[in-house]
Chains A and B, each alone.
Chain A
């Protein structure tokens, strides 16, 4: 199984500012995924990040708002830009299992509150 850490675990930010969330995996993985889990809402995929290429964003999410970096096979960052209270959410990264590719491992999440 993969062990995933995220930083920060939580933050309170003012509207208009940006926050970069880090995701570190203890093994090399091809794909990393970024999700949002808003209060009372289902997990929603933001984008898929491959090393060496630009991230692929899902409908409703754009690179200007959620820029993603993937500098190597164990690390990725998601930036939430120009934040508004509607961005208050838990942000999670996940990776596929190396052995059973249909299983995903999730990081502990970053709880973001925008005031």
Chain B
């Protein structure tokens, strides 16, 4: 079957670093997505990993280990505006990135 697990909630302090983990099980892997969703708003794309390793994009980095079925999103120099839900998603079918299976999301609260 297909399954995605991520922590429900996390809390961090402004200026700190936080790591949000995601583990997945799929029948055929074709990449992993991270999206950010502020309360009451639409999800917005953060990253897409298809190969193992760390990809850095400004304050946000995303890591993937295909052999372990594991990814994490690393947020550095946290700002208050980073308080949001972070969604991990994988394609439902290998070779088709259009249909995604989504995790429940990790609600991150950044405190001053």
Report which A residues bind B (CB closer than 8 A).
4, 31, 33, 40-45, 48, 58, 92, 96-97, 100-109
Contacts and interface: CB of A to CB of B under 8 A. Distances in A.
B39 to A, nearest CB: 11
B99 A45 contact: yes
Contacts of B102: 42-44
A31 B98 contact: yes
A97 B44 CA distance: 12
Contacts, number: 47
Chain B interface size, as a band, is 20 to 34
Interface of B: 4, 31, 33, 41-45, 48, 87, 89, 92, 97-105
A103 B49 CA distance: 12
B44 to A, nearest CB: 7
A97 B48 CA distance: 13
A1 B45 CA distance: 11
Nearest to B104: A42
Nearest to B46: A103
Contact of A103 (B42, B48, B87, B101): B48
| B42, B48, B98: most-surrounded residue (chain A CB, <10 A) | B42
A33 B98 contact: yes
A106 B43 contact: yes
Nearest to A96: B98
A110 to B, nearest CB: 11
Contacts of B97: 101-102
